[in-house]
Amino acid sequence: MTANSFLQPNTVKLPTLRQQQLHVLGDQAPHAVSLVGKNCLQEPGLVALICSAKAPASILLAVHDLAQQWRTGSQTILSGFHSTVEQEAFEILLRGPGQLVYCPARSLPRRLKPTWQAALAAGYLTLISPFPDTVRRATKETAVTRNRFMAALADTVLIAYAHPGSSTEQLAYEAKAWGKSVYVLPNSANHHLISRGISSWQSHLK
């Protein structure tokens, strides 16, 4: 893929297990998705990383350390990689060889930065979108839809940080109600989530 080439997304049906997991979305569950790269969605260990836009510096540092571990781990990290914290993880994971799945709050982009192209060619990066090609702009509404899609699709949901009263906080409780394994980073900024029954990521590692 050259710097001036266009992406040609494929429209694919999700693996049966992933389709079943999306049933919690009801009528909002997509029947197919746009995908570019290695279709790693049939593999177990899909972790959705979600974080509110503004997070404490301690959360950023914690995710930086986690991303370094994920680079050589067996899990696949799924995220919109939009918030500052998510972008920190993205820049580290792009180096490979760990698997990452980029899911924008819109249709897939037609061009990629050279570093993205390299990760795609090496098999580290997959791009996926539940939106039709007509959705060319990300909004707050499409971000909420995308995050619900990722939480439903994943085996595990890690809320790095959720601002009190945010849609990210509400998603944590919703995903837990679906029966998902939902975790938050062990940080005082996440006390409001832990106090309502969301488990610490440290418990996931035991």
* Side chain identity, residue 87: Q
Residue 137: CB partners within 8 Å, gap ≥ 6? Answer: 106
Task: Please give the pLDDT value at position 119.
Answer: 93
- Give the Cα separation of 115 and 161 in Å (integer): 27
* 112 domain residue, yes or no: no
Q: Which domain holds residue 185?
A: 44-105+131-206
pTM for this entry: 0.93
Provide mean pLDDT across the span 63-70.
96
**Do the domain assignments include residue 15?**
no
In a domain, 35, yes or no: no
Structural domain includes residue 196: yes
Q: Whole-angstrom Cα distance, residue 191 to residue 199?
A: 11
Encode pLDDT of 73-130 as tens digits: 999 999 999 999 999 999 999 999 999 999 999 999 988 888 999 999 999 999 999 9
> Is residue 79, in this structure, part of any structural domain at all?
yes
Give percent above pLDDT 90 in the chain: 79
Structural domain total, the chain: 1
CA distances to 96, 138, 142, 161 from 76, in Å: 11, 24, 23, 20
**CATH number of domain containing 167:** 3.40.50.450
